[in-house]
Amino acid sequence: MIRCFLAIDLPETLRPQLALLQGELKKTGADVRWVAVGNIHLTLKFFGNVPDNEIDAIVQAALEVTAQQQPFELQATQAGAFPNMKSPRVVWVGLGGDVIPLAQMYHQLEKAFEVLGHPPEGRAFNPHLTLGRVKSPANRHRLSLALEKLPPLKWPPFPVKEIILFKSTLTPQGSIYTPLQVIPLGKL
């Protein structure tokens, strides 16, 4: 079995800005399990544990969808929280830019994977980068205030030319993500 997910990885140029943003939010003292900056990505589909012999079918289904999808650009817009800013459980950075082609590709991937026995997400697609998960109520109100005070992010847009199927290995120190397959966009 391989624990895996499909994602859009981020350019290295974005990671220092994400680290600075996490650093600002860490000052609140909130009890948050922060995602390692090198592991931050845009998840398109979390498969969980998949038999080794199903990986090729997942890659092939993704290739058929991405062959029709031209590269596009995304841009970090603002920090926020799920379910809301007053009661944060997941701290994230929202994404804007070419969100229509992104959403279309996401829904086509969901249909392709459903055929393979991986049902679609039960909630609306909301493109975001998870920065951390709140573990307890300690200083959560300070985190809420810090999130509300953050200005919109003025980071440059970044190109999306590929999606990646990652293997996720759980360790006591955190998850280790290893690319299994890079799947280019717009390659017929």
119-132 pLDDT per residue, tens: 998 888 999 999 99
pLDDT tens readout for residues 42-86? 999 999 999 999 999 999 999 999 999 999 999 999 999 999 999
Choosing from 41, 107, 118, 141, the catalytic residue is 41
DSSP letter (8 states) at residue 27: T
> Helix (H, G, I), strand (E, B), or coil: what is residue 97?
strand
Output the domain CATH number for residue 161.
3.90.1140.10
Give the confidence band of 188 by pLDDT, cuts at 50, 70, 90: low
Q: How many residues does the chain have?
A: 188
Range of the domain at 110: 2-184
Total of domains in the chain:
1
Q: Report the predicted TM-score, pTM, of the whole model to 2 decimal places.
A: 0.93
Which residue among the candidates 107, 118, 128, 141 is catalytic per the annotation?
A: 128
Give yes or no: 128 in active site: yes
Our answer to whether residue 41 is catalytic in this structure is yes
**High-pLDDT (> 90) share of the chain, %:** 94
pLDDT tens-digit readout, 155-184: 999 999 999 999 999 988 888 999 999 999
Region 118-146 average pLDDT: 94
Residue 136 has pLDDT above 90, yes or no: yes
Q: Among residues 177, 187, 186, 188, which one has the least CA distance to residue 10? A: 177
Report, in angstroms and rounded to the nearest whole number, the Rg of the chain calculated over CA atoms: 17
Q: Which helix (H) or strand (E) holds 12?
A: none
Could you tell me which residues come within 8 angstroms of residue 43 by beta carbon, excluding any fewer than 6 positions away? 5, 6, 7, 130
